Structure formats: structure tokens, C-alpha cells
Structure 1
Amino acid sequence: MGKNLYITEKPSVAASFAAVLGVNISKSDRTRGYAESKDSVVTWCFGHLITLALPDAYNDAYKEWKVEHLPIIPEEYKYVVIDDEGIKKQFETVKSLMLREDIDYIYACTDSGREGEYIFRLVYEHSGTTKPAKRVWISSQTEEAIKEGIKNAKDISHYDSLAQAAYSRAKEDWLFGMNFSRIYTCLYGRHLSALLKESRSSVIAIGRVMTCVLGLVTDREKEIRNFVPKTHYGITANFISMDNKIEYKGKWVPEKSKIIKFADDAQDEERYISKQEAEEVIEKLKGKEGKVKKVEIKSKNEQPPLLFNLAELQSEANKKFKLPVDKTLETAQSLYEKKLITYPRTDCRVLSTDVVGELPKVLNGLYMNPEYKGFVSRIKDFGELKITKSTKRYVDDSKVTDHYALIPTYVTADLNRLSENERKIYNLIVKRFLAIFYPPAVYNTVKVETEIDGEVFVTSSRTLKEAGWKEVYEVSKSKDEEDLTEVPIHLLSKNEGCETKNFELEEKETKPPPRYTAGSLIITMEKAGKFIEDEELREQIKTCGIGTSATRAGIIKKLKDIGYINIDSKTQVVTPTLKGEAIVELVRRTAKELLSPSLTASWEKGLAMIENKETTQEIFEKKLCDYINKTIQKVKKSNSDNSINLIRMFKDVI
């Protein structure tokens, strides 16, 4: 009987598999690139070992960038081992193991997602092996999960549609990058270098997702730059109640007929009045007593938040710790490889029913940690676990795709052995997880309406009656809470008279939309559907954003690294550079659909359809090639009259 060969994505993951399989990886094994026992061989990739070849692999002429060569659309794609000595050596090692006569079965143990599938398939296909292969699909690196994954490994053919989507994604990115980067560089590289006062012609990098994201950042900046603030007014009255002697403030609520509508303003739902009208109201009400018209007391429940997916985790860490989004992904991946959290590259925020049975074990693992013991004890005090297979808010198989939400594993973490970032991220994930087992937070809300001569002033307060899940999880104060009073207005009585001490005229200005932070940009990419006016299309692609959970952070980082955007290290606020703005303007005037979130998201939807067997790879790639061909011709034509002058366009910005 021969041996089984296990191929992981990274050496660190190979160690986890080796431990389960009883294979010892020595220092010399690491040097030679694999380890083995009497029945198992464990080897690893270094992420991608093979990639799509550059255009000059198809034709030497393509070494020179020329408009007349475009579009470049290969009939059959070529792949090459990445040009790195270590990678080449490891590919030869993996290839030789796959071809070894004593290897009976090959197990794909790369990350359980589209990219992990692509990494394995490329190596498998370019090794020349015909050995049967199985896919190990796991959502955590714990010993139990790995054992279960190996035991339940399915024939690799079960994941063929996922592999097809992965191949199509790579071809799509290659076609966009190679064709559009070349044509824009050839046609407009010198224009851009003249604008930037650079001696060499600029290379203009265009990407299917990258350029769309750059467009979002640039459009927001233009919106802010062109924003004209509008002044409006409000009135605050200071009251003292006659019976209870409670001093409180109320905000005037104007009748709808007095509201100014700023039709072009994003905030036009607010109630705006002119200074003259506000002064007239104050004059009319001066010296008049008020009366409490209404005291409305309600109890309101606030449910714990949903569990983290990667985008929400990146956004939260960016907000709370100003941690760059790519650093959060890197940290989460490290925690995953240390067996402390489940697979981080997930878009899902709920659990699958088959995980529910494991939750007590996870809670017990957290109980062993002094940092979380008290929180878990409280959960035990509540009695039966709040989360069951029928708790639709947190458990829903219909919303789970490749992986369920990001949660801790049962492995007890030694927090002292984690880096500062690992502790922060782990703590966020654990506390968000623990919170779902707690009861809702309960608030007492009070709304008081005070009337003076027919004019109504509103006062609101909110007090936390029962902390519930907020014992565990800290939530930042929302803007809505800033106008709440801490005065005990619940003690006021209906029809109680009030002395009006004075009025305050408030002058306010409308505000432009905020700039993106790296965290809010990640969420915007995830929820691309909100940009789509067509309701049918919005519904069709609502599960597909711009990019994927695995790639969004890398796209933002690349835009920063190539100088198209700036990210403030303290605030994490994202702004476009002059270079980035100029590129967006060039694209807008020549092929504006490249900036369209709906188009970018619909390509992502197409890949999901291949994966779900709702369309074929052939149909998708034909549409893709037709689009590339048509759009390249369009860009060529747009340059025929030489009407684009970047220096003139940006004379006010330079």
C-alpha cells in the first residue's frame, strides 16, 4: 500500500497537518521542502507557485507596448512558474512528490476558498500527474477540524466549478490589466507625466477592481471639494417645570410649511429654516409660558450585533485601533494558523446549523482563559444557551456560502504569547462572539413635547436599564445619542406648566459627506449594490460586492503603494492623489464603465454563477472577451481628436 501526499498552502499550515498525521517536520525537512512518515508525506506551497505568463510569452513583439497590438486575447493561456529561486525549487519538489510511484492519493489542503483552489489546481495540472486527488475543506486549523476534514475529503471533481471560477477570475484580471494598462499608458502616459512634472512617461495601471475603487475615492473627494455649505437655523428653548422644578432644554420642531428644502443636498431630509423665520418665532414666543403636551416613556430592546465577517472586522479594527485593513487580514490569518479563530476570509455573518453543537466546547475553551472566564460564567448563569439551530438571527444555512462567520475556536489562547495586534483582533472576535449569548440591552427612552403658543419643542433621553450584551462588547457612541439629555425628564407630567427662561438661536451649516476611511471603504466595496439604481440588478448582485473578502484589503494597499491614493496613518482617512484623480478623469472621458461599481460587481456575480453552476466558464469568458474587444476599440476612438488636456483640466488643483 502506498502513501498519501498532503499539500498545504504555506509551511506554517503544513506543521498543523503534520502534527495530526503524526509526521515530524525536522529542520532538514524544511530545507528539502517536505516531511514524511511510513504512510504520509506532507509538503507545502509558498502561496502561489505558478502564474499566468506575460504577453511576450505569446509573441516577442509584445515586449514593446503598442496600441496596434491591442487587444491581446490569447486563444490558449500560458502559465509559468514564478521567477523566484525558492519558488522554482519548491515547485520541483512538489512536482516530484506528485509523480513518485509510492504516492497513491493526493490531498489538496490549501486554504478553503477560490484562491486556495487555484493554487492547488495550477500545481496539480502542471506537475503532469494523473493521481487521484481529494479536497480537504476546513473552517479552522484545530486538530479536530483537520482530522474531520481529512476523513470527509471529497474527490477533487466535486470542486471543479470553484476551480473554473478561479481560472476565469485570473484570466479576467489579466485581460483587464494587460490590455487597459497598456492602452492608457501608450495614449496618455506622456500627458500624465507632463501634469505631474515627471521626466519619464508615466505607466498607468488599470485594474478591474482597483480602478473602480479609485473612482469611488475620487468621486467622494470631488463631492467634498465642490460642496457649497448652506446656512440654516434652529431654536432651543430653556425650560423650568413649575411642579417638579426640572430644568431642561427642548428643540423647536417647525411645521413642514416652514422647512427649506435643499434639493441638491444629501441631508435634505433635515428640517431647515431661515434666520428671519427663526427670529420671528422667538419674538412671537418671548415671555410666554409653556406646557408639557406629551411625555412618552418606552422600553426598547437592542439585540447584540451580528458576528464578524472579514469586512466588518477590518472596518471595526480600523475604527477602533486605526489598524490598516491589510494588517487586520494579516493578523487574522496569523490567528487562524495558530488555531485560535475560524477561517477569516469569509463574507458570512451567521453560523451554519452543524456548528451549533460545537459552541459549548468553544465557550469552555474561553472559560479556561482568565480574561474571558467571568463573561462565560455569566452565560452559564443564564441557563440554557440562547443560540440554537433555530435562532435565525445567528444561525442560517441559507446565508452560509463557503464558510460561516468568524468566531474563536475551542483552543485556549495564551494572550501573553500574542503580539499586540493579535491580542486586539482576537479580543474583538471573542467579545463579539460572547455577546450573542447575552440578553438584549434594554433602554428606557423618554420623549417630551413642550408646547408654547402652538409651537412644539422636543426633548429626548435614553437611559440604559439593563446592560445585557453591552456588559461584554463596547460600542462607540452614535451621532444620534449626542442630542440626548441626561436630565430626569421622565419625572415631568402631562399638562404641567413650564416657565420659558430664554431662547437660543442656533446657526448651522450643512456638511459635505465624510471622506472614506480604509475601514468604511472596505464596507462600501462589500455593499456595492447600494450604488445601483436598477432594482432588479441590485437584487441580482446583492451578494457580490466589488472584489472579494480575500482581495479588498490588497486592492486598497496596492492603490496606496502605487501612489494613486493616500491613507493618513493616524486617522486612516483615504484621499486621492493628483495622479489618481487624473487617471480617473482619463477613464471617465474614454471608458467610464470601468469606474462603474455595478459593472464591477456584476463581473463578480458572473464568477459566483460559474461557482454555483448557474452559467458556464465558456459563456462567461466569451462575454469577457467581447467586452475587452469592444472597450479597447472605444478607447482607441476616443483619442482620435486629441481633445484631452490634463494640465488644462487640473489647472485649479496643481
Structure 2
Amino acid sequence: MGKKLFITEKPSVAASFANILGLDISKGDRARGFAENKEVIVSWCFGHLVTMAYPDAYNSKYKEWKIEDLPIIPNEYKYVVIDQKGVGKQFEVIQTLMCREDVDLIYCCTDSGREGEYIFRLVYSQSGSDKPAKRVWISSQTEEAVKKGIDEAKSIREYDLLAKAAYSRAKEDWLFGMNLSRMYTCQYGRTLSNYLKESKSSVIPIGRVMTCVLGLVVDRELEIRNFVPQKHYGVKASFKSQDNGIEYFGKWQPKKSKGKKSEEIDEQDKYISKEEAEELIEKLKNKEAVIKKVDVKVKSEQPPLLFNLAELQSEANKKFKLPVDKTLEIAQSLYEKKLISYPRTDSRVLSTDVVAEIPKILNGLFKNESFKDYVLRIKEQGELKVNKTTKRYVDDSKVTDHYAIIPTYVTANLSSLDADSAKIYNLVVKRFLAAFYPVAQYNTVKVETNIEGEIFVSNAKTLLSLGWKEVYEVSAKKDEEEITDSPIHKLVKNEKSEVLGFDLEEKETKPPSRYTDGSLIITMEKAGKFIENEELREQIKTTGIGTSATRSGIIKKLKEIGHISIHSKTQVVTPTLKGEAIVKLVRKTARELLNPSLTASWEKGLAMIENGETTEEIFMEKLHSYIIKSIEKVKNTRDNRNILN
């Protein structure tokens, strides 16, 4: 019986597999690129080892960028080993291992997702090996998860649709980048450099997702720049109840329109012109005030959903000002240390098969002094609040490749981690623990005071029980209503109040906030709000712009190529002059490249390939047609010399 060969995505992950398989990777093994014993061999990639070839691999004339050579659409795509130090050598090591006579089965142990599948398939295909392969699909790096993944590994052929979607995504990005970047650079590179007062002709990188995201950032900046603030006014009254002597204030509430509930009144409807406000005050002076309503309610607030990658990046950005790519890097490291589940996920719930692991995870966290008391509180409640029937947190229909990010039963003292890693691990653990706590409860009080038919509203909110807020603190949101500290719950309906005075409130409309890289990640994930077509909006609801694995990389690339700036302390994102100019060029030549619906339609196609609803051939045919039309469209604008004016 031959040996089994295990290929992981990174050397750090290889160590986990090696330990479970009874191997100890020595310094010498690291140097030669693999470790083996009598039964198994473990080797590793360095992420991508193989990539798509540049156009000049098809024809040397493509070394020079010329409009007349576009579009470049290969009949058969070529792949090459990445020309980087150590990469070629490691590919040769894996190729040799895959073709060794004593190896009879290969295990794909790269990250369980589209990109991980692509990394392995490229190496497997380029190696020329025809050995059978199995796929290890796991959501955490714990010993149990890895053993189960190996035992239940399926034939690689069962993941062929995933691989086809991965190959199609790569070809799609290649076609967009190689063709449209050349087209815009050749046609508008000199125009852009003149506009930027640069000596060299500018390279204009265009990407399917990247250019769309740049458009979002530029549009937000233009919206802020062109914003004209408007002043509006409201009326605030101060009262003193005659029976209880309680002093409180109330804000004037406009009369609701027919068929419109009071809570549906728009913010702008609460304000009027200065003249109208002054007339209202004059009209109500020296009039009697009567308490019309005292509404006391107990309101509950559910614990937040679990983290997916975008929400984790956003929360870390709000709380700690961590860049989104740094958060992903930390989360990946925590995953490889077996402390959290797979981080590159879009899901915010668990699958039913994970529920059985929850008691073990809680027991593991109980051993950690930082979380022991929180877990003890959960155990004291008796039956766990999260089980297979808890739809809020357990729903197979909402789990994509991987469930939400949660801790594993392996734990680590926060003091043993670096400061940023401790912060991220603490966030993940506490978000998970919060799900097992009771709801937070508030006493809310709403008082309506009537003066001559005009209503003034007072609000109060008091925390009754912390519930889950004992363990997890959500990033603060801006209060939509003004809260009073007065004990207005003691006021009584029909009680008269003395009007102590009126204040004219002046407000000014504000422009939207600039994106931070954290809020941009969420916007990319929830890009459906930009799409009018209902079917596409439904599709992008689950795919967004880019994927959980690529979004932070796209933002990072936009920064590296000088299209956006990200403030080092606040993480606020702004477009550069070059970024704005490129969006202006695209808007005047092929504006659909800036539209999230374009990304949605292509993401829908990739999802359909993965689900067997369409074929790779049909997808590529449509893609080729689109590229040809886009190139022709941009070519037809070549005489527009004043395009940036």
C-alpha cells in the first residue's frame, strides 16, 4: 500500500496536520519542503504557487500595449509557476511528490473555499499527476476537526463545480484587468498624466470589483463636497408638573399626516422654518399644558448575531481603529493557532451539526480565567439558550461554505497573545458567549404634553437588566431621540403642567460621513441597496461586491496603487485626485463598470456554476461578449480629448 500525500495552503497549517498524522516537522524538513514517515507525506504551498500567464505568453507582440490588439481573449488559458524566490522550488517539491511512484492518494488540505480550491487545483493540474485526490473540508483547525475532515474526505471530483467557479472567477478578473487596463492606459494614460501634471504616461488599472469600489468612494466624496447645508428649526418646551413638581422638557411633534403613524414621521418633518417656529411659540405663550399620555413599556434587546468576517472587520475598525486587512491577518493567525473557526465566511449563524460542539467549546473557555465567570453564568441558567431550534443563531439555509466565526474548545490566555490578537480573540469569544445570555431589558417612557392641540414629546430610557450586555459591549450608535434624565415615569395622565419657557432649536443638515475601511467593507457586503433590479438585489444580498476572502485585499490594493488614501489613525477613506479622475474617465466611457449590478450579475453567474445551474462554457461565452462590447465602446470615445475637463 502506497503513501498518502497531504498538501496544505501554508507551512503553519502543515504543522497542525503533521502533528495529527504522527509527524514532527524538523528544521531540515522545512528546508526541503516536506516531511514524511512510512505512511504519510506532508507538504505545503505558500498560498498561490501557480497563476495565470500574462498576455505575452500567448504572443510576444502583447509585450507592447496597443489598442489594435484588443481584446485579448485566449482560446485556451495558460498557467505558470509564480516567479518569486522559493515559490518555484516549492512547486517542484510538490510536483515531484505528486508524481512519486510510492504515493497513491493525494489529500487537498488547502483552505475550504473557492480560493483554497483554486490554489490546490492549479498545482495539481500543473504537476501533471494523475493520482486520485480527496478533499479535506474543515471549518476549524482543532485536532478533532482535522481528524474528522481526513476521515470524511470526499473525492476531489465532488468539488469540480466549486473548482469551475474558481477558474471562471480568475479568468473573469484576468479578462477585465488585462483588456480594460490596457484599453484605458493606451487611450487615456497621457490625458490622465497631463491632468495630474505628471511627466510619464499614467497606467490606469481597471478591475471588475476594484473599479466599482473606487466609484463608491468617489461618489461619497462628491456627495459630501457638493452638499449644501440647510438650516431648519424646532421648538423645545420646559415644563413643571403641578402635582409632582417634576421638571422636564418636551420637543414639539408635528401633526401626523393621514395614514402615517407618528413613529413614521421623517426627521426633516420634525423641523420647520424659523418664522413658523417663532409663530408657534408666540401662539402657545401663556397657554395651559396638560399631560395627554404617559406610555411606559418594557423593551427587550436581543444579543447581536455572531460575527462573519465583514462584521468582525467593521467592529474591530470601530473599537480599535484596526485596518481591515490587519484584522483578517489576525483572524487567519488565530484560526491557524486553532483558537477560532474559519474566518473567511459570510455567514452569521451556525449549522446544526456544530451545535453538538457547543458544550465542549464552553468547557474549554471555562478553563480560561478571562472568560470563566461568564461561562459560569451560562451554566447556572441550566439549558443552553442556543440549540438546533434557535433560528436566530442556527440556520442551515443561511450557512454558505462555512458557519459564523466562533471560538473553538482550544483556548489561550489573553496575556499570551500580542495586544491586537488579544483584542480580536476577546471580541470573537465575547460575541459568542453573549448569544447564551438573556435579552437586555429597558424601561422606556414616552410622555405627550398637549398645549392648545400642539403635542410635545418627552422620552426616557432606563436599563432594567444588563442581560447579554454584561459580557459584550456593542459599538455605540448615534441616538435618534433625545433622552431626558427626569423621572417622567411618575407623571400622570391629565395632570396639568406649568410651561416654564420655550426654546427655538436651530439645526443644520449634515452631509453623509466618509467611509472608513470598516464601513466600506460592510457597504461592499451589503451592496444590494444600490441595485434597482429585484432579482439582482436578491442575489447580491448573499454575495455582495467581492467576497469575504477578497474585500480587504481590494481596499488595500486601491491604497497601494494610489487611488485612495486611508488615514492612519481614523481609517477614514478618501479618493486621491488620480482616483477621482479615473472614475470620471470610466463614468464618461463605460459607466456600467461603476455599477454594483455589474458585479452582482457576474457573481450570480459564478454562484450558478457552483450550484450546477449553468455551465462554465455559457458563463465564459457571455463574459467574452461583454469584454468585446466594452472594448469597442471605449474605443469609440478616443476623440474625446477634453474628457477630464
What is the aligned partner in structure 1 of residue 384 from structure 2? 385
Q: 1:415-430 alignment to 2 at 5 Å?
A: 415-430=414-429
Whether 1:39 aligns to 2:39 is: yes
For residue 621 of structure 1, give the secondary structure of its aligned residue in structure 2.
helix
Is the Cα contact below 8 Å between 2:609 and 2:616 reproduced in 1?
yes
Is the Cα contact below 8 Å between 2:370 and 2:413 reproduced in 1?
no
What is the aligned partner in structure 2 of residue 618 from structure 1? 617
Q: Separation in 2 of the partners of 1:54 and 1:459?
A: 66
Q: 1:104-123 alignment to 2 at 5 Å?
A: 104-123=104-123
For residue 621 of structure 2, give the secondary structure of its aligned residue in structure 1.
helix
For residue 543 of structure 2, give the secondary structure of its aligned residue in structure 1.
coil
Is the Cα contact below 8 Å between 1:547 and 1:601 reproduced in 2?
no
Unaligned runs of 5+ in 1: 259-265, 649-654
What is the aligned partner in structure 2 of residue 530 from structure 1? 529
Q: Separation in 2 of the partners of 1:178 and 1:514?
A: 34
Percent identity reads 74
Equivalenced residues, count? 639
For residue 227 of structure 2, give the secondary structure of its aligned residue in structure 1.
coil
What is the aligned partner in structure 2 of residue 406 from structure 1? 405
Residue by residue over 1:96-143, the C-alpha shift from the partner in whole angstroms, topping out at 9 and shown as x without a partner, is 000111111000000001010000001101111110100000000000
For residue 542 of structure 2, give the secondary structure of its aligned residue in structure 1.
coil
What is the aligned partner in structure 2 of residue 448 from structure 1? 447
Residue by residue over 1:300-344, the C-alpha shift from the partner in whole angstroms, topping out at 9 and shown as x without a partner, is 111101000000000100111110000000000000000000000
Q: Taking structure 1 as the reference length, what is the TM-score of the superposition?
A: 0.96
Whether 1:437 aligns to 2:436 is: yes
Q: Separation in 2 of the partners of 1:91 and 1:522?
A: 34
Q: 1:304-383 alignment to 2 at 5 Å?
A: 304-383=303-382
For residue 568 of structure 2, give the secondary structure of its aligned residue in structure 1.
coil
Whether 1:593 aligns to 2:583 is: no
Whether 1:103 aligns to 2:138 is: no
What is the aligned partner in structure 2 of residue 549 from structure 1? 548
Whether 1:169 aligns to 2:169 is: yes
- Report the residue type matching 2:60 in the other structure: D
CA RMSD of aligned residues (A): 1.3
What is the aligned partner in structure 1 of residue 200 from structure 2? 200
Deviation at 1:196, TM superposition (A): 1.1
Whether 1:395 aligns to 2:394 is: yes
Is the Cα contact below 8 Å between 1:267 and 1:510 reproduced in 2?
no
What is the aligned partner in structure 1 of residue 262 from structure 2? none
Q: Separation in 2 of the partners of 1:439 and 1:148?
A: 33
Q: Separation in 2 of the partners of 1:610 and 1:392?
A: 29
- Report the residue type matching 1:523 in the other structure: I
What is the aligned partner in structure 1 of residue 261 from structure 2? none
- Report the residue type matching 2:441 in the other structure: V
Residue by residue over 1:249-300, the C-alpha shift from the partner in whole angstroms, topping out at 9 and shown as x without a partner, is 1000123589xxxxxxx97754231100100010111122311110000111
- Report the residue type matching 2:143 in the other structure: E
Q: Separation in 2 of the partners of 1:625 and 1:307?
A: 40
Q: 1:13-52 alignment to 2 at 5 Å?
A: 13-52=13-52
Deviation at 1:537, TM superposition (A): 2.5
Could you tell which deviates more after superposition, 335-344 or 599-608? 599-608
- Report the residue type matching 1:167 in the other structure: Y
Could you tell which deviates more after superposition, 535-544 or 355-364? 535-544
What is the aligned partner in structure 2 of residue 644 from structure 1? 642
Q: Separation in 1 of the partners of 2:269 and 2:582?
A: 36
For residue 499 of structure 1, give the secondary structure of its aligned residue in structure 2.
strand
Residue by residue over 1:441-474, the C-alpha shift from the partner in whole angstroms, topping out at 9 and shown as x without a partner, is 1111100000111110000111111111010110
Deviation at 1:478, TM superposition (A): 2.3
Q: Separation in 1 of the partners of 2:275 and 2:577?
A: 43
Deviation at 1:643, TM superposition (A): 4.4
What is the aligned partner in structure 2 of residue 651 from structure 1? none
- Report the residue type matching 2:122 in the other structure: L
What is the aligned partner in structure 2 of residue 94 from structure 1? 94
Q: Separation in 2 of the partners of 1:70 and 1:481?
A: 54
Q: Separation in 1 of the partners of 2:543 and 2:602?
A: 9
What is the aligned partner in structure 1 of residue 181 from structure 2? 181
For residue 297 of structure 1, give the secondary structure of its aligned residue in structure 2.
strand
Dislocated runs of 4+, deviation >3 Å: 266-270
- Report the residue type matching 1:614 in the other structure: E
For residue 299 of structure 2, give the secondary structure of its aligned residue in structure 1.
strand
What is the aligned partner in structure 1 of residue 138 from structure 2? 138
Is the Cα contact below 8 Å between 2:526 and 2:540 reproduced in 1?
no
Q: Separation in 2 of the partners of 1:509 and 1:481?
A: 15
Deviation at 1:595, TM superposition (A): 0.4
What is the aligned partner in structure 2 of residue 505 from structure 1? 504
For residue 56 of structure 1, give the secondary structure of its aligned residue in structure 2.
helix
- Report the residue type matching 1:644 in the other structure: N
Q: 1:123-272 alignment to 2 at 5 Å?
A: 123-256=123-256, 270-272=269-271
For residue 48 of structure 1, give the secondary structure of its aligned residue in structure 2.
coil
Q: Separation in 1 of the partners of 2:142 and 2:268?
A: 51
Q: Separation in 1 of the partners of 2:47 and 2:592?
A: 33
Change (3 A) 1:209 1:267: farther
Q: Separation in 2 of the partners of 1:299 and 1:160?
A: 53
Is the Cα contact below 8 Å between 2:318 and 2:475 reproduced in 1?
no
Q: Separation in 2 of the partners of 1:569 and 1:85?
A: 31
Could you tell which deviates more after superposition, 512-521 or 30-39? 512-521
Residue by residue over 1:517-569, the C-alpha shift from the partner in whole angstroms, topping out at 9 and shown as x without a partner, is 11111011001111111223312332110000000000001101111011111
For residue 35 of structure 1, give the secondary structure of its aligned residue in structure 2.
strand
Residue by residue over 1:597-653, the C-alpha shift from the partner in whole angstroms, topping out at 9 and shown as x without a partner, is 0111221121111111111111111110000001100000022x324342x3xxxxx
For residue 449 of structure 1, give the secondary structure of its aligned residue in structure 2.
strand
- Report the residue type matching 1:126 in the other structure: Q
